[in-house]
């Protein structure tokens, strides 16, 4: 793996000061891994069944998150209206006491 930046605690991230960064910048950038001794590095392909299982798990997680968010919004809305109602009742009692 090529490293273009170095990091030391207490020191900002900087480009390497040696000639490595300059030498690396001269190399053409490729999107594929280099072939070494006739062997290629490939990632195992997902089968359609594995993709569908992953999609289903993602869909279930998203649905659960949406239900949780909806419940949180409902609780917040209920609490807000409860507070508004309490304020209205308090103001009504104060008005009644002051006007009588």
Is residue 62 situated within a structural domain?
yes
Query: Tokens 């999107």 label which residue?
Result: 31
The CA-to-CA distance between both ends of the chain, in Å, stands at: 84
Which one has a higher pLDDT value, 75 or 30?
75
Is residue 84 situated within a structural domain?
yes
Percentage of the chain lying above the pLDDT 90 cut = 52
* Dihedral sign of CA atoms 13, 15, 16, 21 in order: positive
Is residue 87 situated within a structural domain?
yes
Domain ranges, residue 75: 49-100
* Predicted TM-score (pTM) of this structure: 0.45
Across residues 76-86, what is the average pLDDT? 98
Is residue 93 situated within a structural domain?
yes
Is residue 34 situated within a structural domain?
no
Domain count, the chain: 1
Residue 58 phi, psi (nearest 5): -65, -40
Residues 8 and 2 sit within 8 Å (Cβ to Cβ) = no
Q: What is the pLDDT of residue 12?
A: 55
- pLDDT one-digit tens code per residue, 12-50: 555 554 455 555 556 556 555 555 555 666 778 889 999
């Amino acid at each position: 793996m090529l490293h273009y930046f170095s990091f030391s605690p207490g020191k900002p991230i900087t480009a390497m000061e040696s000639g490595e960064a300059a030498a690396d910048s001269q190399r053409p950038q490729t999107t594929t891994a280099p072939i070494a001794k006739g062997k290629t590095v490939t990632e195992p392909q997902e089968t359609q069944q594995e993709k569908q299982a992953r999609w289903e798990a993602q869909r279930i997680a998203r649905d659960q998150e949406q239900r949780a968010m909806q419940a949180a919004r409902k609780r917040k809305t209920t609490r807000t209206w409860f507070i508004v109602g309490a304020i209205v009742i308090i103001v009504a009692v104060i008005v009644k006491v002051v006007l009588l």
